[in-house]
Structure 1
Amino acid sequence: MWYLRRFLLRQPRSHALCPTSPSSSHAPSSSLPSSPLQCRTLSSTGGAGFYNFPPSAHYDLIVIGSGPAAQKCAIDSVKRGRRVAMIDKNSQMGGVCVHTGTIPSKTFREAVLHLTGYRHQGFYGKSTFTSSRRSSMNEILQRVQKVEDVEAEVTRHQMRRNGVHLVTGTARFLENGANDAHVKLAVLLTDPEQERKGIYKHREASLPKTLLTAEKVMIACGTRPVRQEETVFDGKRVFDSDQLLWGGIDRVPRSFIVVGAGVIGIEYASMINVLPGTNVTIIDPRPNLLGFADREVVDALMYSMRHYGARFVLGEKVGYPALASTSMEQGRRASCHMWGDFEAIPEHSMAAEQGGEVKSVLQQGGFLGRDTERLFPYGIYTIPEISMIGKTEEQLTAEKVPYEVGIANYKELAKGQMLGGMDGFLKLIFSTEDFRILGVHAIGEGATEIVHIGQVVMAAGGSVHYFVDAVFNFPTLAEAYNVAAHNGLKNMGINV
């Protein structure tokens, strides 16, 4: 029996900052150099592989973490004339987004879709692609690793090209003295050999240190799964979503249980669900799945997953001592001037990226010069995928806003038939008073792509009539907007 647990709360990543008292080993020099941190490889007698940084350096801004929010804030600050350093314990830049979050989980999904022939099963059936052998975890993770490596190098190149000084190590806040005007950080530099082996516990006595000071510090170091003390995570039979990507699982399990059906949990559950020969069970104490999403869309997702054999046990709790084997993942908790998973939309990389730019401007006393209230689309990369923007029917009903709904089923579209006649639909919600678009919800192939058409029209204050009059390429999934607009107006008794 295998388990995947999606935690509802997450704790700080291991390089999150811990306050510590200043000591003579990292006391600041009398004058702080203004030149960037210079690094060089130590000789073999001095600890090969370490970087020898100056004993101290000063910056206008230090960013801790290297995810989307950290990157955007750092680059934007440099462009505004600030001197910026970025600290991450991992020399492979990118943070949670690249290494355990968005990029690997979505690449995992693409690998599963490819290996199972999911997109072609409407024409050729399930057995055509899966009868000869079962997919291995190694095949899936190879693709994940290749994408991670490229994305990490792209991130590193962008930071260096824009003049951000990169420091690989673990940062700790130091207590400020009565006359200290700057924030002080002690940085324990990462041992590349420990990093290669995946060992992240630093021993202060054996690691070189440097002291950094800054006018301001931004914390955006990401999150990791919370683990309940009574549960042992061995990374093989009991694991969280991060451990799923570490290669400790040598084969695709025949029985897979997900405890906690948050976004990441339900994404991985749906991916494993389409792999042949695996029985998936989803357990969650809440009575409804994905409570923030449109109910009709969620019901369609559950129907599709049940079609592939998934079993849902909602409104039930799990007694951990009774579990023989578990893989757990229940959500994310904030790390500790913060941004990213813990202040933007949870697990929304682009929202974090935009937030990083806003934080860069505001922490420097600037102004945005444009409206900061933006419409953020939300994508859930289940199989089939879900995307949404704006209000749901449940929200509008609670707010007593009059609305109408128009729906376009993928099977009505020529492109939908070309894709194998897979289930999916686009749902337009608009006002019955001024016909403004209030929400767009989609499920099925390309849902996270076509939602942006609705995003642009909503941002411009457009109405449902735009989609009636617009001409779309044929055949495309974008035509669903035209079909849904006609359907919605017909529901109001308006013939166009």
Structure 2
Amino acid sequence: MDKYDVVVIGAGPGGYVAAIRAGQLGLKVACVDRWRDGAGKPALGGTCLNVGCIPSKALLDSSLHYHNLTHLLPAHGIRIDGAGVDIPTMQKRKDKVTRILKTGIEGLFKKNKVTWFPGQAAFLARDRLRVCPALGDRGKDSKENREFEVAADNVIIATGSAPMRLSAVPVDNERIVDSTGALNFAAVPERLGIIGAGVIGLELGSVWNRLGAKVVLLEAADRFLPETDREVAKEAERVFTKQGLDIRLGASVDSATVSGEEKPVVGVGYEAGGERQSMEVDRLVVACGRTPVTAGLALENAGLATDERGRIPVDGNCRTGVDGVYAIGDVVRGPMLAHKASEEGMAVAERIAGQAPPLGYETIPWVIYTHPEIAWVGRTEESLQADGIRFRKGRFPLRALGRAHGSGETEGFIKILGDAETDRILGAHLFGNHASELIAEVVVAMEFSASTEDLARIVHAHPTLSEGIHEAALAVAGRAIHF
């Protein structure tokens, strides 16, 4: 039985990063992952790379190019007659992007001497695992596909999450699909229903809306994007509705039935405003959240258990209650974000190697890749008010920036919150073009405990969208120049 310093279970953005970092630190590392692609072949990268972050962004970019071609470029004096959508080519490009990156991770594993075991890992004891290989071309009786055991001084659980299912809405992967299915449509549905108007629902809805589908989002919450800044959510709802997304709040779906043979449709039933409602769509996407994956791990053999939400309890350093066993990413507390998982993975690897890295959860950025994009970090006005923390805010509209007008992208604004006494930056909320890139400046500033005055004193290139950060920081003290 081979023994390793670290065995990582899961090769998503948390697991593969943890394995690579441990390898960089000179540890003997193995990574066990059960993911298989559409062809049944083992694949690294987890949900994020295979059916999440990366393929969705590929489609978002492709669909945005088409939208700009038909809606934005004519104002620039660019006209292309007869422009159309080729979904098969778009899907091939998406798959190529993921394939390139998966191959890249394989190369990084080899470079850092990480042993990759495709298959399911299960605890036999705290420091011992059974690996059931993913069946390969040689069949279940080949030597390569027999079960085996490995020993580990340390184990990092990074098994991620899976789409949440609704008992009243059975996913058949034909007419009723989850987020994975919605990334693989072979044609644009005429009418698309999406259960959930959160991050996943909005991004998928944006893709197919731009390509010509009539999209209806059914959201059970009474408030749009309740986790975001209220002002951002209100403006985003207005803009997305203007783009053609039909967002129905307070809509609780309780039935979905497929009917019809020649042209099947999905009948959706829901309650909204105390009244019974129904609609018919060609495809229905269930995008109502995700749930941690721990099935098959035999956690009890390691003395572990999950909480009421299916998560593995950990402390601030991702340590479970069992010595030498760690858990990171979507399977533990906190936001289900790929970059949060990656940072936890690096921190745990370094801790195992004897270092003491900090984990800064207060400065984790959030992004919704709609267009315009939504990005934020730190506290909201509502949370500060609830805690009785006095603050000042600076708000600056992007329409006051020359670069925004030059590109024809003037929707949105930037808001920065500073402590009323110390001026330390408490949060930032962006709605606008390239918000996902702009938020990084504020994240860095907050990580170094900067004040809004620090941001206000930094020279920003002109003309750029980053000037909006500068102006919002100036606005905290009431001295924005261009608004």
TM-score by length of 2: 0.80
1:260, distance to aligned residue in structure 2 (A): 1.5
Which structure has the bigger radius of gyration? 1
Asked whether 1:304 is paired with 2:239, we answer yes
Asked whether 1:137 is paired with 2:87, we answer yes
- Aligned pairs, how many? 423
1:125, distance to aligned residue in structure 2 (A): 5.4
User: Could you tell me which of 427, 447, 472 is aligned with 1:439?
Assistant: 427
User: Could you tell me which of 379, 387, 392 is aligned with 1:399?
Assistant: 387
Deviation string, structure 1 residues 182-208 (Cα, Å, up to 9, x no partner): 4131322432489xxxxxxx8999953
Asked whether 1:153 is paired with 2:106, we answer no
Query: Runs of 5+ in structure 2 lacking a partner?
Result: 37-41, 258-265, 268-282, 295-325
User: Could you tell me which of 329, 336, 340 is aligned with 1:340?
Assistant: 329
Deviates more, 1:335-344 or 1:206-215: 206-215
Partner of 1:76: 21
1:112, distance to aligned residue in structure 2 (A): 0.9
Distance 1:413 1:402, change over 3 A: same
Partner of 2:161: 223
User: Could you tell me which of 166, 172, 179 is aligned with 2:116?
Assistant: 166
Tell me how far apart the structure 2 counterparts of residues 255 and 468 of structure 1 sit (CA, whole Å). Answer: 47
Secondary structure at the counterpart of residue 140 of structure 1 = helix
Tell me how far apart the structure 2 counterparts of residues 420 and 281 of structure 1 sit (CA, whole Å). Answer: 27
Partner of 1:39: none
Partner of 1:266: 202
Partner of 1:466: 454
Partner of 2:211: 275
Partner of 1:5: none
Asked whether 1:213 is paired with 2:151, we answer yes
1:129, distance to aligned residue in structure 2 (A): 7.0
Mapped contact 2:31–2:114 kept (Cα < 8 A): yes
1:367, distance to aligned residue in structure 2 (A): 3.9
Partner of 1:251: 187
Tell me how far apart the structure 1 counterparts of residues 77 and 463 of structure 2 sit (CA, whole Å). Answer: 29
Deviation string, structure 1 residues 184-236 (Cα, Å, up to 9, x no partner): 31322432489xxxxxxx89999533332223322212222133345332323
Partner of 2:4: 59
Amino acid corresponding to residue 117 of structure 1 in structure 2: N
Distance 1:400 1:204, change over 3 A: farther
Deviation string, structure 1 residues 65-117 (Cα, Å, up to 9, x no partner): 11121122212322333211111233321111110111111111111111222
Deviation string, structure 1 residues 432-458 (Cα, Å, up to 9, x no partner): 222222111111111011111111222
Tell me how far apart the structure 2 counterparts of residues 191 and 101 of structure 1 sit (CA, whole Å). Answer: 25
User: Could you tell me which of 343, 351, 356 is aligned with 1:354?
Assistant: 343
1:374, distance to aligned residue in structure 2 (A): 5.3
1:304, distance to aligned residue in structure 2 (A): 1.1
Deviates more, 1:339-348 or 1:95-104: 339-348
Tell me how far apart the structure 1 counterparts of residues 142 and 221 of structure 2 sit (CA, whole Å). Answer: 44
Distance 1:223 1:270, change over 3 A: same
Which protein has greater RCO, CA pairs closer than 8 Å, 6+ apart?
A: 1
Amino acid corresponding to residue 235 of structure 2 in structure 1: A
Secondary structure at the counterpart of residue 252 of structure 1 = coil
Mapped contact 1:385–1:447 kept (Cα < 8 A): yes
Tell me how far apart the structure 2 counterparts of residues 172 and 343 of structure 1 sit (CA, whole Å). Answer: 18
Identity %: 27
Tell me how far apart the structure 2 counterparts of residues 422 and 275 of structure 1 sit (CA, whole Å). Answer: 22
Mapped contact 2:221–2:250 kept (Cα < 8 A): yes
User: Could you tell me which of 46, 50, 53 is aligned with 1:102?
Assistant: 53
Asked whether 1:319 is paired with 2:269, we answer no
Amino acid corresponding to residue 255 of structure 1 in structure 2: R
Partner of 1:87: 32
Partner of 2:230: 295
Tell me how far apart the structure 1 counterparts of residues 80 and 138 of structure 2 sit (CA, whole Å). Answer: 40
Amino acid corresponding to residue 230 of structure 2 in structure 1: R
Mapped contact 1:268–1:382 kept (Cα < 8 A): no
1:357, distance to aligned residue in structure 2 (A): 1.7
- RMSD value, Cα: 3.0
Tell me how far apart the structure 2 counterparts of residues 61 and 357 of structure 1 sit (CA, whole Å). Answer: 13
Amino acid corresponding to residue 462 of structure 2 in structure 1: F
Asked whether 1:236 is paired with 2:225, we answer no
Deviation string, structure 1 residues 330-359 (Cα, Å, up to 9, x no partner): 211112232122226433111111101222
Query: Runs of 5+ in structure 1 lacking a partner?
Result: 1-31, 33-56, 195-201
